[in-house]
Amino acid sequence: MKTVQYGLILLIGLHAMACSGQEKDGPGPVTPPSQGPQDKGWTFETTPVWQDEFDYNGLPDAAKWGYDIGGHGWGNNELQYYTNRIENAFVGNGVLTISAKKEAMSGRNYTSTRLISKGKGDFLYGRFEIKAKLPAGKGTWPAIWMLPTDWAYGDWPKSGEIDIMEHVGYDPNKIHISVHTEAYYFKIGTHKTSTKVIENAMTEFHLYRVDWTPYAIRGYIDDVLIYQFINEGKGYTVWPFDKRFHLLLNIAVGGDWGGQQGVDDNIFPTNMEIDYVRVYKMIDK
């Protein structure tokens, strides 16, 4: 967003990007709990430890990206079939393009791509920067996000999720940044989200960033702090973010959140463009 793999995918989907819980504009500062870790003011290396500049042509670099493939709804009643075809994910002119299309495949009426760095880019802490231009149109549900690589604390949401950027086409230019944990997620009404309207998010590139340290996960748009989620020091139900995570880039079509106001078939094909993905290692203290 799974029998262990298929069932896990479905369970992930129950979370996955269905961010319809508590919202607030701006970073929503949280008073650091006394029992949580100290904020050591961690910084990050200035040279990426992992990156894709998309300065080539063809399919996404197989050394860095894999695919989630299928059309079972992904736990959110989504309408697309995710493929690994160049028609849905291709690199050229310095950008990665993920393209959602109106076409029939394997019982679904739309196709798209969900790229994952799992097994090729797995990270514990760091700065994550993705410069992107979002798709337009009612029914689109693009996301730039992270899931646990090892699911050490159990299925979703126990092992956590980090949403660097989410957007639904029926609510244009309103960007959501959030996390999900067992204690804080939308299905029990405790979800912690921040939002910001970026007037040209669908027509221009913007920088979506998360700084993840042992103390907090902080979300930024164009280097302006929008969101922060602080480690309360109460164990994995609140803070499962001490294990490896990987990146995901995708456009969903419809679904429990993205499809709340239907799907406009006149918008297809519609694209999310990624200028670069850069990951910087946290400097430990």
CB 205 within 8 A of CB 275: yes
The position carrying tokens 């609140």 is 238
β-partners of residue 207 are 131
Closest CA to 157 of 4, 3, 11, 7: 11
CA distance readout (Å), 185 to 15, 137, 148, 158, 165: 8, 27, 16, 10, 16
For the beta carbon of residue 43, count every other beta carbon within 10 angstroms.
Answer: 13
Q: Spell 17-31 as b/e; 16+ CB within 10 A means b.
A: bbbebeeeeebeeee
CA distance 269 to 203: 15
Q: Catalytic residue positions?
A: 161, 166
The position carrying tokens 């302006």 is 224
